[in-house]
Amino acid sequence: MPAPAIKFDFVLLYVSDPMRSARFYTRLLNEEPLEATPGFAMLKMSSDVMLGLWLRGDVAPPAAAPAGGSEIAFTVATPEDVPDLYARWSALEIPMAQPPTEMDFGHTFVALDPDGHRLRVFCPALR
């Protein structure tokens, strides 16, 4: 019997305040929440991927890991887009963990959401 088909289409972040996080991601992604309650909010990240913002205290089974142990990555088309988006997000007073930097994989910066989740923006290096 073949294995059931699966596809990647959802990212869940455990947050202290889903409504605050929904406002943050609405500004960041220019996308209104599809759902927003005190315990959970959901936004469309792309045509195939949704972002869920789940109240940390309601997660079952309870999550032990703190925020910032992984990253959500956003790809941009050109290296010039990296400092442009950095400036735009900085103007929104989004905390930054790393300024625009050239790394082995491309030009990148890292921002932080209200709970400290890392948001990496990068333009892949030409290989």
Given a cut of 70, is residue 45 above it in pLDDT? yes
Mean pLDDT in residue range 13-24: 96
Q: What is the pLDDT of residue 99?
A: 98
Ordered domains of the chain (ranges, CATH): 9-58 (3.30.720.120), 67-127 (3.10.180.10)
Given a cut of 80, is residue 127 above it in pLDDT? no
Cα dist from 101 to 10, 51, 82, 117, whole Å: 29, 26, 9, 19
Q: What is the pLDDT of residue 122?
A: 96
pLDDT band at 48 (very low <50, low <70, confident <90, very high): very high
Mean pLDDT in residue range 63-84: 91
Cα dist from 48 to 44, 51, 103, 109, whole Å: 8, 10, 28, 24
